[in-house]
Amino acid sequence: MLSADDPLPFAPRRIVIAGTTGVGKSTLARRLAELWELEYTELDSLFHGAGWTQRPEFLDDVRRVADVDRWVSEWGYFSSGGGQLLGARADLAVWLDFPRRIARTRLLRRTLRRRIRRERLWNDNVEPPLWTVLSDPDHILRWEMRTHGTWKKRMPVVAAEYDLTVVRITHPRDLERWLEGPAAAVAR
């Protein structure tokens, strides 16, 4: 496993961004797409249909993403099969393994902003009312509480299973250092 300071041993072509909900996977994927001239597909946009249901075309869409030669995407939806499709084709995983306080603060800010502004998300979905955090066990804030530690157990298993090089980033300042150092060196 590489750290934020380790040089990348190759120029990645297919990258998955791992981490807990709200930690900044999509933001990093967009930045890497620009830096490394990759195609970026937001996995949430493929998954979420009307009423926050899974789109029937999800796996077919993920297959199309995975079949492209150069791409970056978030790494998730293992229970729906999407994570396995991307993992099988990826050559690099960047793991945002930030402390819970950072992940939780980012997710809370994003959730509040989206709800207050009633931002339209995938297939016209909007964040549910904030009070539903108390009644909905799958509310995004409760989901993060339940699943924050998932990647600590999952990453060693899937990295070995898919024979992936993994860059583990443990703090936002380390991410910036990695983007300006090893990631930028690959772009040159």
Write out pLDDT tens, residues 64-105.
999 999 999 999 999 899 999 999 999 999 999 999 999 999
Is residue 182 included in any domain, yes or no? Answer: yes
Residue 172 lies in a domain: yes
The arithmetic mean of pLDDT across residues 174-178, rounded, is 98
Tokens of 184: 């930028």
Tell me the mean pLDDT in the region 162-179.
97
Residues of the domain holding 183: 14-187
Which amino acid belongs to residue 177?
Answer: R
* φ, ψ dihedrals at 38, nearest 5°: -115, 160
3-state secondary structure of 116: helix
Query: Are residues 182 and 8 in contact, defined by beta-carbon separation less than 8 angstroms?
Result: yes
Confidence of residue 132 (pLDDT cuts 50, 70, 90): confident
Tokens of 93: 């995983």
The answer to whether residue 88 is domain-embedded is yes
pTM: predicted TM-score of the whole model, two decimal places: 0.92
For residue 140, the model assigns a pLDDT of 80
pLDDT band at 55 (very low <50, low <70, confident <90, very high): very high
- Is residue 7 assigned to a domain? no
Assigned domain for 2 exists:
no
Is residue 162 one of the residues assigned to a domain?
A: yes
The dihedral built from the CA positions of residue 16, 186, 179 and 36, taken in this order, carries a sign that is negative
Cα–Cα distance measured from residue 105 to residue 117, given in angstroms and rounded to the nearest whole number: 18
Q: How many domains does the chain have?
A: 1
Residue 86 falls inside a structural domain = yes
Mean of the pLDDT values across residues 163-172? Answer: 97
CATH number for 42 = 3.40.50.300
pLDDT at 176: 98
Q: What is the mean pLDDT of the chain?
A: 93
Question: What number of helices (H) and strands (E) belong to the chain?
Answer: 9, 5
The answer to the question of residue 5 being in a domain is no
